[in-house]
């Protein structure tokens, strides 16, 4: 007599490893710690000769991860995206070589942002699991709370206090004084500069927003993480994170399917709108309003092109002056004033045109095309987790990639990691569908052992 025997999935992990083995989580923890602790080590611990070790720690983690983990066969979309990033890197090889003539470290710092971090994000997407994301959400909340508390202390401290110094130093070694807004300090927490603090805040907010809408984590984790993220964003004094958070709240109802999920997203949007006047009454909220109304520039103005057209610049020098050729000038302008913040010494796209010419501008376009490709893949999905990730994570990369992240080493690392998590949700869905297809196959029949009918069992198959 033949008895059905269920088909085993060869790609599934053994049962005894399923609950304990989670190697990607350790890499994510190491990466987050390298990003968060870099500024603290540079500002308060390491002498200047050793500070490059803290600066490059996150890049070493990402590079080792890419070497250790490839993209498995069958994930063709991830492989195509990786090939696209390698192509962008090949386009910028001439600009990289020219930049090495002037300064090898400066050229490497820009080139690794162009190539390493996109490939890291895409490779990460191939290895993420729901368990990894669940555990990392808890760790992210644990990290965000002390950073928010430190940011609040810096916000209320004098600008010249040691706790408020930057890792960026002037030529004589004196740390620059902290920037202020509305009579308070723009916090940096453990980051080298305030942009890292602000980026961490918006990334954490979008992460918690995604986990809430997709019902992937409990409120006991999401609520403290969200409050910490809002505190970080407000104490940074940056306006872009608030705009990105607002746009993400609006985008999520457009992406999620189902009446319950959409009602959940709309309810959250209404709650945040109702809470906005209460947040505005806090010192951080009042300082933020002061900066919004008294700043000499606008966020939309930063998105618009200032000065000479980057196309005109590229026509004058099609290949560019070399990657990193303007890094010395940028550092000098940032540290020129002791009490004023020089947030943008040059339009990033103009800098791309000057350093890498038309190949660099084409590379920026291809970066945007990669994000658009992931958006198209998301629209083909019916999975709540994937579509909620698109609504929560889409706005930030589109905004920052438009302004070029090649010159923001912390922002480039965090936003490409977020893109990898977003793509990872689609990869998890793809693997789940493939496993379901294997389960629906016709079961394999084997001969039953000749035992009494009451104790008849199926003969075991050889281990695969």
Who wins on pLDDT, 325 or 236?
236
Q: Are 123 and 66 in contact (CB under 8 A)?
A: yes
Who wins on pLDDT, 239 or 65?
65
The stretches of 45-168 forming alpha helices (DSSP H) are 51-68, 76-91, 93-102, 104-125, 130-156
The string of pLDDT tens digits covering residues 218-270 is 999 999 999 999 999 999 888 889 999 999 999 999 889 888 888 989 999 99
Question: Model's pTM, two decimal places?
Answer: 0.84
Degrees, nearest 5: CA angle 227-62-130: 55
CB burial readout 314-327, b (16+ within 10 A) else e: beeeeebbbbbbbb
Degrees, nearest 5: CA angle 99-102-107: 35
Distance from CA of residue 29 to its chain's centroid? 14
The string of pLDDT tens digits covering residues 12-60 is 444 344 444 677 999 999 999 999 999 899 888 888 888 888 889 999 9
For the record, the structure tokens of 400 come out as 């920052």
- pLDDT at residue 180 above 60? yes
Report the alpha-carbon distance of residue 7 to residue 446 in Å, rounded: 12
Who wins on pLDDT, 365 or 328?
365
What is each CA distance from 417 to 49, 226, 305, 445, in whole angstroms? 29, 19, 27, 45
Please state, rounded to an integer, the average pLDDT across all residues of the chain: 81
Lowest mean pLDDT of 227-236, 346-355, 416-425, name the range: 346-355
- pLDDT at residue 309 above 60? yes
DSSP state letter for 78: H
Dihedral (CA of 60, 65, 71, 77) sign: negative
Dihedral (CA of 347, 349, 352, 358) sign: negative
**116 φ, ψ (degrees, to nearest 5):** -65, -50
- pLDDT at residue 384 above 60? yes
- Which pLDDT does position 339 carry in this prediction? 36
- Which pLDDT does position 169 carry in this prediction? 53
- pLDDT at residue 446 above 70? no
Percent of residues, the chain, with pLDDT higher than 70 = 80
The stretches of 237-336 forming alpha helices (DSSP H) are 240-255, 259-280, 283-294, 299-303, 310-316, 327-334
- Map tokens 């493939």 to a residue: 434
Q: Are 416 and 199 in contact (CB under 8 A)?
A: no
Report the alpha-carbon distance of residue 420 to residue 24 in Å, rounded: 13
Q: Are 425 and 385 in contact (CB under 8 A)?
A: yes
Which of the four pLDDT bands, split at 50, 70 and 90, describes residue 131? Answer: very high
What is each CA distance from 202 to 77, 121, 196, in whole angstroms? 28, 18, 10
Report the alpha-carbon distance of residue 71 to residue 124 in Å, rounded: 9
- Which pLDDT does position 66 carry in this prediction? 95
- Which pLDDT does position 173 carry in this prediction? 45
């Amino acid at each position: 007599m033949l008895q059905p025997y269920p088909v085993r999935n060869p790609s599934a992990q053994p049962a005894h490893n399923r609950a304990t083995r989670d190697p990607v989580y350790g890499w994510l923890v190491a990466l987050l710690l390298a990003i968060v602790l870099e500024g603290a080590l540079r500002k308060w611990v390491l002498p200047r000769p050793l500070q490059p070790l803290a600066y490059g720690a996150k890049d070493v983690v990402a590079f080792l991860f890419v070497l250790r983990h490839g993209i498995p066969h069958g994930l063709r979309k991830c492989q195509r995206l990786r090939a696209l990033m390698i192509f962008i890197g090949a386009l910028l090889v001439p600009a990289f070589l020219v930049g090495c003539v002037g300064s090898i470290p400066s050229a490497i710092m820009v080139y690794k942002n162009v190539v390493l971090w996109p490939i890291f994000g895409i490779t990460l997407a191939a290895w993420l699991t729901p368990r990894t994301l669940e555990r990392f959400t808890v760790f992210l909340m644990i990290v965000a709370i002390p950073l928010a508390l430190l940011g609040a202390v810096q916000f209320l401290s004098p600008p010249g206090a040691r706790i408020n110094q930057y890792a960026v130093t002037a030529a004589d070694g004196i740390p620059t004084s902290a920037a202020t807004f509305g009579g308070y300090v723009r916090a940096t927490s453990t980051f080298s500069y305030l942009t890292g603090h602000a980026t961490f805040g918006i990334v954490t907010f979008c992460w918690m927003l995604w986990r809430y809408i997709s019902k992937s984590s409990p409120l006991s984790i999401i609520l403290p993480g969200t409050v910490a993220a809002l505190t970080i964003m407000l104490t940074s004094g940056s306006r872009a994170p608030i705009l990105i958070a607002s746009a993400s709240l609006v985008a999520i109802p457009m992406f999620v399917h189902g009446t319950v999920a959409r009602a959940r997203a709309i309810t959250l949007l209404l709650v945040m709108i109702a809470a906005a006047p209460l947040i505005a009454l806090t010192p951080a909220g009042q300082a933020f309003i002061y900066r919004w109304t008294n700043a000499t520039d606008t966020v939309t103005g930063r998105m618009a092109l200032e000065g000479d057209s980057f196309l005109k610049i590229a026509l004058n020098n099609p290949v560019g002056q070399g990657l990193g050729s303007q890094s010395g000038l940028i550092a000098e302008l940032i540290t020129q004033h002791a009490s004023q913040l020089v947030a943008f010494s040059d339009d990033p796209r103009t800098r791309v045109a000057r350093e890498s010419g038309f190949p660099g501008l084409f590379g920026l376009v291809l970066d945007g095309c990669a994000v658009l490709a992931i958006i198209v893949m998301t629209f083909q999905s019916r999975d709540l987790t994937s579509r909620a990730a698109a609504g929560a994570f889409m706005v930030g990369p589109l905004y920052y990639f438009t302004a070029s992240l090649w010159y923001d080493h912390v922002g480039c690392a965090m936003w490409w990691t977020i893109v990898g998590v977003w793509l990872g949700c689609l990869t998890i869905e793809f693997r789940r569908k493939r496993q379901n297809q294997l389960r629906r196959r016709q079961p394999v029949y084997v001969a039953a052992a000749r035992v009494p009918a009451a104790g008849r069992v199926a003969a075991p198959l050889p281990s695969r």
